[in-house]
Amino acid sequence: MTHITVNVDGTTYEDDVEPRLLLAHYLRDRLGLTGTPIGCDTSNCGACTVELDGASAKSCSVLAVQADGCAVTTVQGLARNGELTALQRAFHEQHGLQCGYCTPGMIMAARDLLRENPHPTSDEVRHALEGNLCRCTGYQNIVRAVLAASGQQDGSGPADRTRDASGQQVTEEVTA
Amino acid sequence: MIPPAFEYARPETVEEAVRLLAEAGDEAKVLAGGQSLLPLLRLRLAFPELVVDVGRIPGLRGVREDGDTLVIGALTTHHEVIRDPLVRRHAGLLAAATATVADPAVRHRGTLGGSLAHADPAGDLPAVVLALDGELVAAGPEGRRTVPAREFFVDYLQSALSPDELLIEIRVPKADGWGFHYEKFHRVAQSWAIVGVAALVRREDGRIAEARVGLTNMGATPLRASAAETALAGADGPDPVRRAASGAAEGTRPGQDASASPEYRAHLARVLTERAVLTAAGMG
């Protein structure tokens, strides 16, 4: 067993863990923070994405012992006193989910994007979410939600600028 | 899935890491960012007795200049490589190719040294460092040694590192003035390259004076397309480049998998070499 100290969503935990314990399992099974789901065994789906010291990471691909001394933020640490963040609200308002399984990872990955690039194009949103799979929505409303959270449009706002495969600027009408 | 049980050590110096590796014989695995090792452990394709977590050893992260050479610490993450001003200025090929690796969350954790030491011929960065004529510096019980990239990739998932050696830095000659492009062909956004081509081109008087072409996933190791490189010298337009690129698969032994046959991979190598060289040369 290895002793670790981890701050998760503002609370500091001390635990003795097996070195092989994945951070995703630590969060879910030890701390009961089941808001972070596990969707695959291959690092592909991104459902388990959290922030580790401020940068997105797939918690199925991090050992709990690697998080020793670090700060972890899960989707459960975003809302303050029951008040959703703008990004969470946008997923709700733009209907950026159907079954919801991918949503925590989508939100954590989108936070990462908006921190670096507060006004992304729809193409940049798609690239930023390339490590997160959704099997319900076809991604359209997820991209809309991220754009809405960036304040660029509310789903019925100005047309979205994007680029097609040849790099030409094209205009895509976005309607709610 | 749950990884098999292992002992865990987190050394604080290179010397301590090397000592731990030497004591464990070949029963230890090095953990840096974990983006290759953890999937292997989860899928139970690796059963180390000891995992040596080198992720917090100071001094192995970051980029510096050493004359005409760029020195990149092995623990520098993909995310850092992409944004590093020295890498962007002097080894733009590396920054561009690294931006195609996996996805943002993986790039936050994964390291340049880790992906080279993993020696996966389908990984993007081995062929890039090979094309850049890079060198890899390893620390072992006897001290440090420098291995040219051409000798570093020995076989499938096998590097020239011995079990008691740790990759500590990557040295890349500055490629100032060279055009570059990494052309990657893959089925979906975050999947491995079916074939990738890393091209560096130096032009003189409107002609290609010198070209270097690294191939991803065209054999058990990353390869240089030597025949195409030779034929590219003197090429002065798209047609000569196409003719030269037709030799890109010479001497390769691409594998068969669910994505592609060896013949299809050879075809891709030719087409992607043409595209990568034309783009790198500004002729595309």
CB B175 within 8 A of CB B92: yes
What does the pLDDT look like over B261-281, one tens digit per residue?
999 999 999 999 999 999 999
Chain A interface, best mutation among B7, B42, B82, B103, by max A CB count within 10 A? B103
B38/A62 CB distance under 8 A? yes
Confidence (pLDDT) at B191: 87
What fold, for B63-173?
3.30.465
Residues of A in contact with B108 (CB under 8 A): 52, 55-57
Confidence (pLDDT) at A166: 46
Cα distance from A128 to chain B (closest Cα, Å)? 7
Residues of B in contact with A41 (CB under 8 A): 1, 42-43
Residues of A in contact with B34 (CB under 8 A): 61-63, 66
**Same domain (yes/no): A128, A163:** yes
Rounded to the nearest 5°, which phi and psi values hold at B99?
Answer: -65, -15
| B62 shares contact with chain A (CB less than 8 Å) | no
Q: Could you tell me which residues come within 8 angstroms of residue A59 by beta carbon, excluding any fewer than 6 positions away?
A: A22, A23, A24, A27, A36, A48, A49, A50, A52, A72
**Same domain (yes/no): A68, A125:** no
Distance from chain centroid for Cα B97: 9
DSSP A99: S
The label of the residue with tokens 């050590």 reads: B9
Cα distance from A95 to chain B (closest Cα, Å)? 24
**Same domain (yes/no): A41, A16:** yes
Chain A interface, best mutation among B8, B41, B44, B45, by max A CB count within 10 A? B8
**Same domain (yes/no): A30, A95:** no
Residues of B in contact with A117 (CB under 8 A): none
| B284 shares contact with chain A (CB less than 8 Å) | no
Asked if pLDDT for residue A163 goes beyond 60, the answer is no
How many angstroms separate the CA atoms of A99 and A136, rounded?
7
**Same domain (yes/no): A43, A102:** no
What top-level class would CATH report for the domain B179-184+192-280? alpha beta
What does the pLDDT look like over B102-161, one tens digit per residue?
999 999 999 999 999 999 999 999 999 999 999 999 999 999 999 999 999 999 999 999
**Same domain (yes/no): A26, A46:** yes
Q: What number of other Cβ atoms are within 10 A of residue A157's Cβ?
A: 13
Q: Which of B8, B35, B189 sits opposite A61 (nearest CB)?
A: B35
Asked if pLDDT for residue B284 goes beyond 90, the answer is no
Q: What confidence category does residue B190 fall into, taking pLDDT thresholds of 50, 70 and 90?
A: confident
**Same domain (yes/no): A62, A107:** no
Residues paired with residue A14 on neighbouring β-strands, in sequence order = A5
| B46 shares contact with chain A (CB less than 8 Å) | no
A22/B2 CB distance under 8 A? yes
Confidence (pLDDT) at B266: 98
Q: Could you tell me which residues come within 8 angstroms of residue B11 by beta carbon, excluding any fewer than 6 positions away?
A: B17, B19, B20, B52, B53, B54, B57
> Helix, strand or coil for residue B145?
strand
What does the pLDDT look like over B41-85, one tens digit per residue?
999 999 999 999 999 999 999 999 999 999 999 999 999 999 999
How many angstroms separate the CA atoms of B172 and B73, rounded?
11
Domains: count for chain A: 2
Residues of B in contact with A44 (CB under 8 A): 190
**Same domain (yes/no): A129, A97:** yes
**Same domain (yes/no): A62, A98:** no
ipTM, two decimals, is: 0.95
Q: Is the Cα torsion angle A145, A150, A154, A157 positive or negative in sign? A: negative
B190/A65 CB distance under 8 A? no
**Same domain (yes/no): A65, A100:** no
Asked if pLDDT for residue A169 goes beyond 90, the answer is no
CATH label of the domain that carries residue A26:
3.10.20.30
Residues of B in contact with A5 (CB under 8 A): none
Cα distance from A23 to chain B (closest Cα, Å)? 11
What does the pLDDT look like over B191-240, one tens digit per residue?
899 999 999 999 999 999 999 999 999 999 999 999 999 999 999 999 99
Confidence (pLDDT) at B58: 96
A112/B55 CB distance under 8 A? no
Chain A interface, best mutation among B1, B10, B37, B38, by max A CB count within 10 A? B38
Q: Counting runs of H as helices and runs of E as strands, what totals does chain B give?
A: 12, 14
The label of the residue with tokens 């899935």 reads: B1
CB B109 within 8 A of CB B201: no
Average pLDDT over residues A104-108: 98
Q: Is the Cα torsion angle A122, A128, A130, A134 positive or negative in sign? A: negative
Q: Which of B1, B53, B106 sits opposite A131 (nearest CB)?
A: B106
A2/B34 CB distance under 8 A? no
| B79 shares contact with chain A (CB less than 8 Å) | yes
**Same domain (yes/no): A99, A124:** yes
DSSP B30: E
Cα distance from A98 to chain B (closest Cα, Å)? 22
Asked if pLDDT for residue A164 goes beyond 50, the answer is no
Chain A residues contacting B via beta carbons under 8 Å: 2, 18-20, 22, 25, 41-44, 46, 49, 52, 55-58, 60-63, 65-66, 109, 112-113, 127-128, 130-132
What fold, for B7-53?
3.30.43
Nearest to A145 by CA among A105, A96, A100, A97: A96
Confidence (pLDDT) at A174: 37
CATH label of the domain that carries residue A151:
1.10.150.120
Residues paired with residue B159 on neighbouring β-strands, in sequence order = B153
Asked if pLDDT for residue A162 goes beyond 90, the answer is no
Cα distance from A171 to chain B (closest Cα, Å)? 23
How many angstroms separate the CA atoms of A48 and A63, rounded?
13
Average pLDDT over residues B256-263: 96
Asked if pLDDT for residue A31 goes beyond 90, the answer is yes
How many angstroms separate the CA atoms of A108 and B152, rounded?
37
Token reading at B263 = 């013949």
| B104 shares contact with chain A (CB less than 8 Å) | yes
Q: Could you tell me whether strands B50-53 and B28-31 are parallel, antiparallel, or unpaired per DSSP bridges?
A: parallel
Q: Could you tell me whether strands A2-8 and A71-73 are parallel, antiparallel, or unpaired per DSSP bridges?
A: parallel
Count of pairs with CB atoms under 8 A, one residue in A, one in B = 85
Asked if pLDDT for residue A175 goes beyond 50, the answer is no
Show the domain range for A149: 86-172
**Radius of gyration for the alpha carbons in chain A, expressed in angstroms and rounded:** 17
From A28, A47, A77, the end of a domain falls on A77
- What's the full length of chain A, in residues? 176
B39/A61 CB distance under 8 A? yes
**Same domain (yes/no): A10, A53:** yes
Q: What percent of chain B has pLDDT over 70?
A: 100
Q: What confidence category does residue A171 fall into, taking pLDDT thresholds of 50, 70 and 90?
A: very low
> Can you give the residue ranges of every domain in chain B?
7-53, 63-173, 179-184+192-280
Question: What are the start-end ranges of the H helices in chain B?
Answer: 14-23, 37-42, 78-83, 85-90, 92-98, 104-109, 112-118, 124-131, 149-152, 226-232, 238-245, 262-280
